[in-house]
Amino acid sequence: MNIYTVQDLASKTSIKPFAFLTDRDAIEGFKHVCNDEKTPYAKHPADYNLCLIGSFNEQTGILKPSDPKIIARAINMIPQQLTKKEIEAELSRLQIELEEMQ
């Protein structure tokens, strides 16, 4: 079992550690809270990183800490909103592509 924390870069603190079986599970959970508009992760995504900080062996009861390793950034968990100008440029590009195919 892996042990994780979320680093708050603005306050230079970390939340209480929590466990997931795999990095993939931890990233999915982090993604979920990052997309909940009620959380600070969604409001200020540039401030938060999910970090692996160790492992816990359930059979031996041994906790092995490790240096924090960033495995996900909140900013990358939230779908980026395109501006109206970016959408119009993409539509124009696709229209040209479509016309060339005909």
Question: At residue 4, does pLDDT exceed 90?
Answer: yes
Collect all residues with Cβ–Cβ distance below 8 Å to 20 and sequence separation of at least 6.
1, 2, 4, 26, 29
Mean pLDDT over residues 35-47, rounded?
A: 92
| pLDDT at res. 88 | 80
Collect all residues with Cβ–Cβ distance below 8 Å to 74 and sequence separation of at least 6.
30, 34, 41, 42, 45, 46, 47, 48, 49, 50
Q: pLDDT by residue (tens digit) across 47-102? A: 999 999 999 999 999 999 999 999 999 999 988 766 677 778 878 888 888 888 87
Q: How many structural domains compose the chain? A: 1
| pLDDT at res. 27 | 97
Q: How far apart are CA 100 and CA 94, in angstroms?
A: 10
Mean pLDDT over residues 31-37, rounded?
A: 93
| pLDDT at res. 93 | 84
Q: Which domain holds residue 7?
A: 2-101
**Which regions of the chain does DSSP assign to beta strands (E)?**
2-8, 13-14, 18-20, 48-57, 62-73
| pLDDT at res. 33 | 95
